[in-house]
């Protein structure tokens, strides 16, 4: 019983430290795969008809980090879009640090130089 609790404690301690120690884009990748990929797809082009591609040169990633951060945390509904970006991608446990890691990942993976 005692050993099992030590193991649980070790996992609880190690997981967040591991995530913080990696580079932000790497942390963002696993968050993207858990929370965002269902709508934005593995290539960022979007899996739902009518969704803006994150890869488009004049698309969402042409905005500043702060704008993207707010869209991820607060959600977004453009006037001309039939679809809504849910706050935190629908994952209430997503933190602001997670959202920053996601912005770094989006730029590294889908952004243009």
Question: How far apart are CB 113 and ligand HEC at their closest, in Å?
Answer: 18
Q: Tokens 């009518």: give the residue.
A: 50
What's the CA angle centered on 16, arms 29 and 39, to 5 degrees? 30
Q: Tokens 């890869």: give the residue.
A: 55
Question: How far apart are CB 50 and ligand HEC at their closest, in Å?
Answer: 8
Residue 13 vs 112, nearer CB to ligand HEC: 112
Question: How far apart are CB 94 and ligand HEC at their closest, in Å?
Answer: 6
Q: Tell me, rounded to whole angstroms, the distance of Cα 51 from its chain centroid.
A: 17
What residues line the site for ligand HEC (CB under 6 A)?
35-36, 38-40, 51-52, 60, 63, 67-68, 71-72, 76-78, 81, 83-86, 89-90, 94, 102
Residue 7 vs 57, nearer CB to ligand HEC: 57
CA dihedral 31, 37, 41, 46 (to 10 degrees): -100
Question: How far apart are CB 106 and ligand HEC at their closest, in Å?
Answer: 6
Q: Is 71 exposed, middle or buried (0-12, 13-18, 19+ CB in 10 A)?
A: middle
């Amino acid at each position: 019983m005692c050993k099992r609790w030590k193991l649980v404690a070790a996992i609880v301690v190690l997981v967040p430290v591991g995530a913080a120690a990696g580079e932000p884009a790497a942390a963002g990748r696993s968050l993207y795969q858990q929370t965002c990929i269902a709508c934005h797809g593995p290539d960022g082009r979007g899996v739902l008809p009518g969704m803006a591609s994150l890869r488009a040169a004049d698309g969402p990633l042409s905005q500043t980090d702060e704008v993207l951060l707010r869209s991820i945390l607060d959600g977004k509904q453009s006037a001309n879009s039939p679809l809504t970006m849910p706050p935190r991608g629908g994952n209430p446990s997503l933190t602001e640090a997670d959202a920053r890691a996601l912005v770094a990942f989006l730029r590294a993976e889908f952004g243009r130089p």
